[in-house]
Amino acid sequence: MITRRESLALLGGTAAALALAGCANKPARKDVIFATQKNGVPFLAETRGEFAARLEKRGIGPVKWVEFASGPPLIEAIRAGAVDIGLVGNTPVVYAQSAGTDLFYVAAQSVPGLVGSGLLVPAKSRVTTLAQLKGKRIAYTKGSSSEFELAAALKQVGLGLGDITVANLAPGDAQTALANGSVDAWAIWDPFFTLAQVRGGAREVPLPISDINTVAFYVVSGAFVRERAEILQTTLDELRTEAAWGNAHRTYYRDQVAKATRLPPQVLDGMLGRYKDFLFAVDPVTPAIIANQQKVSDYLFEARVIPKKVDASKAAWTDWKPVT
């Protein structure tokens, strides 16, 4: 005789099996929710509209856009399932791995050295070298690429993050703090890097040249890789097409960034000129890129920014083979 408890267990098992079967038959999502910032290929793709149109012709869509001010909240949105894909610097990826986030970097743009970011001080500051900022208050967004760049630069002059007073501020707040003297310096990326110099009269303090490349990553949730790999590959192919268009039409991109940031186009010409022939790229993740990311991870561990060492290769997705 089957007892009541056994009957309930049997019913529960049947319900679970039916639920799993329902999940198995559930069609894969076709939409893509993109995280954007005021730069890069995603920004270009959103403003032009051609990217979404091409995806929809291939049966993918609609494409939705959500704007973020920096990488850390973008990563959190991916972790929470609020967005599917976004472009971030190298440091947010390290933080995500250290926290055990189910995330992969699936494509990259690698730039030699530090381009489009740096360290700023107020116009009237007497600081001319990084070493002079020992014991001073430096603003940056914790978990952003600027944190790594500052940590790496400090190490090269015999200092560490423990030798400064850290002000963990979002870009908008940091810009205000630098202008009113609440902080002595600010580590930041473009377009904020250029904005502060043009509008606030901030001055750049050169950082030591690093042997580590600046890499921006296209990151996605683990579920996107496991459940919608074909859609992901098509999305990356179309992003690569968009990058090629952007490299051939810099003036259009400049004008769109000018509208978004209200920076004069002539100032943006100087900003974009620093990127030379590598303004846009959407490239597969290679062993060299993984090795570079491992160096970033190791730097941040040695600087006690993350609590444990991480294996950069564990978050790398290398299955994408571009069609062009």
CB burial readout 294-316, b (16+ within 10 A) else e = bbbbebbbebebbeeebebeebb
Q: CATH for 32-112+213-315?
A: 3.40.190.10
Give the side-chain half-sphere CA count within 13 A for 311. 2
Residue 293 identity (one-letter amino acid): Q
Asked whether 37 and 69 are in contact (CB, 8 A), the reply is: yes
Which secondary-structure segment (H or E) carries 73? Answer: helix 71-80
Residue whose token pair is 């100087």:
270
What's residue 15's pLDDT? 44
Return the ∠ at Cα 112 (arms to 323 and 78), rounded to 5°.
60
What's residue 18's pLDDT? 41
162: its two tokens: 């423990």
Residue spans of the domains in the chain: they are 32-112+213-315, 117-205
Closest by CA position to 297, among listed 320, 318, 315, 285: 315
Q: Do domains 32-112+213-315 and 117-205 have the same CATH topology?
A: yes
| Ranges assigned E (strand) in 83-237 | 85-88, 103-111, 117-121, 137-140, 165-168, 185-189, 203-205, 214-221
Q: What does each of the 324 residues of the chain score in pLDDT, given as a tens digit?
A: 334 344 334 344 444 444 444 445 566 789 999 999 888 999 999 999 999 999 999 999 999 999 998 888 999 999 999 999 999 989 999 999 999 999 999 999 987 666 678 999 999 999 999 999 999 999 999 988 899 889 989 999 999 999 999 999 999 899 999 999 999 999 998 888 888 888 889 999 999 877 788 899 999 999 999 999 999 999 999 999 999 999 999 999 999 988 888 888 877 887 788 777 778 999 999 999 999 999 999 989 988 899 999 999 999 999 999 987
Q: CATH for 117-205?
A: 3.40.190.10
SS3 136: coil
Residues whose CB is less than 8 angstroms from the CB of residue 159 and which lie 6 or more positions away in sequence, other chains included: 130, 131, 134
Return d(Cα 293, Cα 295) in angstroms, integer: 5
